Chains A and B, each alone.
Chain A
Amino acid sequence: MSTVTVYLQGLSVLGPGMPDWSAAQPCLLGQQAHMAAAVVLPPAQALPATERRRVGAAVKLSMAVGLAAVADAAADAAQLPNIFSSTGGDCENCHSLLDVLASDERLISPTRFHNSVHNAPAGYWGIATGCTAASTSLCAYDATFAAGLLECATQALSGAQSCLLVSFDTAYPEPLYAQRPIPYPMGVGMVLSPQASAASKARLQLALSQEPATTMQDAGLEQLRLSIPSARSLPLLQLLASGQPGRVVIDYLDDCRLAIEVAA
């Protein structure tokens, strides 16, 4: 079976009860009870003021997670090719457009329209960081994280340079919420390098697998894992928090999962 080997240089998380990676670690390790509190999204300070006031939860979330992962890697955001993976992109903006298109007037806002593209968060990332490298925005329904991780790892290997993954999901308001209930916004960021360095936190070896996914023992975390696509990463985050070598299987597609071997 083919494996893909990359090195983790930076890591970030922002989700319910996980305001950042250092706060998330004791919860993931069971050293502290995990409480799924509402997620506070910081304003997108890196954007010029005109853009900053136009952006919603998806841009704030993806930018916070991306900047934190880049800072953790002590990397330069402007130099990193990037992968933005999300199940719905900016869901609030999409709902607003659908609502106006269902009205008699159909006077939709040009800003809302250009923000409706799935790659809008990636576009704002480029504007904020000045990064002109390749940027790819993906959707794989529930496989937001694994699809993004594979794309990021293969991009890092092909380009022989570090690459940023921003995996993030937000929810639609009703009525679409009923069909796609995502209880909290959540994002995970990673900087992956094709080569080991003194700053590498772990080696990740990825392979496609048919094994069942690793589950979370904590009922609350398992509930999150199953209800937020980006939270399918939780077994990997738990293993990384432990600082120990090990192996997890994370959900990818119905009949295809991702086995990840973690080593120091």
Chain B
Amino acid sequence: MQAIRLSAYTLTSALGSGLDAHLAALRQQRGGIVKKRWETVDFDVCIGEVAGLDDVLLRPALQRYDCRNNRLAQLALEQDGFVASVQAAVARHGAGRVGVFLGSSTSGILSSEQAYRQRDAQTGALPPGHRYRETHNAYSVADFVRQFFALSGPACVVSTACSSSAKVFGTAQRMLAAGLIDAAIVGGVDTLCLTTIYGFSSLQLVSPNPCRPFDSERDGISVGEGAAYALLERGDLAQPGDILCTGIGESSDAYHMSSPHPQGLGARAAMEQALRMAGLQAADIGYINLHGTATPSNDAAEGAAVLSLFGQQTPCSSTKGHTGHTLGAAGGIEAVFSVLALREGLLPGGVGTRQVDAQLPCNYLLQTREQPLQHVLSNSFGFGGSNCSLVFSRVNA
């Protein structure tokens, strides 16, 4: 494929807002998952919560979009000079030539969860202030970001559960290749809500403690929230030191709605396709950012797929021990973690994992390591058997 350049990127999670907070946390191997009471959840739950969302004020002209998810969307946009980078791209290409492709799983559904608790006792009607279109609907966050920058190009939300914001790189790459756009804002935004906390609990997939990816005693995820963005442009003008997305692999398990294929066949197909698109061999990959949710079956399937394709040598880890599982934002957040790893020559040691599962003899990093990297792979797999792997590469001098 024609490589695409990441002209700018940023992320916000339980580790903090912006790249510096995340780099510091990776170097210190510090996690952001805490056990607490959240909203009206009637049990203590380990979550990766973004600080300060209750205090975020949306721009006055965009007040109708006000909800936790769009507050996080705006907070994350305002880090690392990302707004200025987008504005410069809009000036270069025109507002109609910049696309917005974002991933989200639950969008602003928390607003509807709260509104359902306030239904009129007589009529059952939702409270008058509730705005479905601008908060709960899955498109809401892309609409918000498109309005934020006054863009008039193509836009959509990809909502394929936990692969959503990895797959948006594919949507953007295809739109760029077709010549419909010259730049794209991609990424993902997902926030805590009752649907996911109670939902994953109902499936017995939530750990009572901060999650422990690839650990022999792993017992489930920690739900997190976060946002990440990248500004993508065609890669033909890339300069030394730039980061390119060079491979995108997408597949479906066609197996089960909430369990991965036990041997990770779909995961393996996505990784193989990403490598093929990038023109690389497995041995060229210096680090794998695993999906690594810390459920027994997810990690077993992913581990089997990684071992079958890469063997036992390729360094890998999951950063979900740092952030929790940010669901629809995870693909975007972990894409930016992968970019940071490439840029800084930093291989993140996992957080939460003490004893790597002997059944999964991958080279899972328990200590952060500094080492130059050329190519990294990031995995994202979701409910419904939706798989996406991305390859990022550093342009040499």
| Chain A interface residue bracket vs B | 35 or more
Contact between chains at B117 and A208 (CB < 8 Å):
no
CA distance A256 to B386 in the complex (A): 30
Which A92-143 residues have a C-beta within 8 angstroms of B? Answer: 94, 97-99, 101-102, 106-110, 113-120, 122-124, 126-127, 129-141, 143
Contact between chains at B170 and A157 (CB < 8 Å):
no
Which B247-306 residues have a C-beta within 8 angstroms of A? Answer: 250-258, 265-266, 269
Contact between chains at B160 and A115 (CB < 8 Å):
no
In the complex where A115-B257, A118-B159, A122-B386 touch, is A175 in contact with B126 (Cβ < 8 A)?
A: yes
Contact between chains at A114 and B257 (CB < 8 Å):
yes
B105 lies within 8 A of chain A by Cβ: yes
Chain B residues with CB under 8 A of A139: 137-139, 156-157, 159
Which B218-270 residues have a C-beta within 8 angstroms of A? Answer: 250-258, 265-266, 269
A158 in complex: contacting residue of B177, B199, B254, B382, CB < 8 Å: B177
Contact between chains at A138 and B157 (CB < 8 Å):
yes
Interface size counted on chain B using CB atoms at 8 A: 67
B313 lies within 8 A of chain A by Cβ: no
Interface stretch (choices B57-65, B147-155, B353-361, B367-375): B147-155
Contact between chains at A134 and B252 (CB < 8 Å):
yes
B37 lies within 8 A of chain A by Cβ: no
**0 or 1 for each of B106-119: is its CB under 8 Å from A? (1 = yes):** 00010011001101
In the complex where A2-B180, A176-B132 touch, is A108 in contact with B251 (Cβ < 8 A)?
A: no
Chain B residues with CB under 8 A of A133: 251-252
CA distance A123 to B199 in the complex (A): 18
Which A63-102 residues have a C-beta within 8 angstroms of B? Answer: 81, 85, 87-89, 94, 97-99, 101-102
Chain B residues with CB under 8 A of A132: 251-254, 265-266, 269
What are 13 A-to-B residue pairs whose CB atoms are below 8 Å? A89-B159, A106-B42, A108-B199, A110-B203, A113-B200, A127-B255, A134-B252, A138-B158, A141-B133, A157-B178, A178-B126, A180-B137, A208-B96
**Additional 13 contacts, C-beta under 8 A, given A118-B138, A118-B159:** A51-B257, A98-B109, A98-B116, A101-B194, A114-B257, A116-B199, A122-B384, A126-B252, A132-B252, A133-B251, A138-B157, A139-B159, A150-B154
Interface residues of B (CB under 8 A from A): 1, 42, 96, 105, 109, 112-113, 116-117, 119, 124-126, 130-133, 137-139, 142-143, 146, 152-161, 167, 170-171, 173-175, 177-180, 194-195, 198-200, 202-203, 250-258, 265-266, 269, 382-386
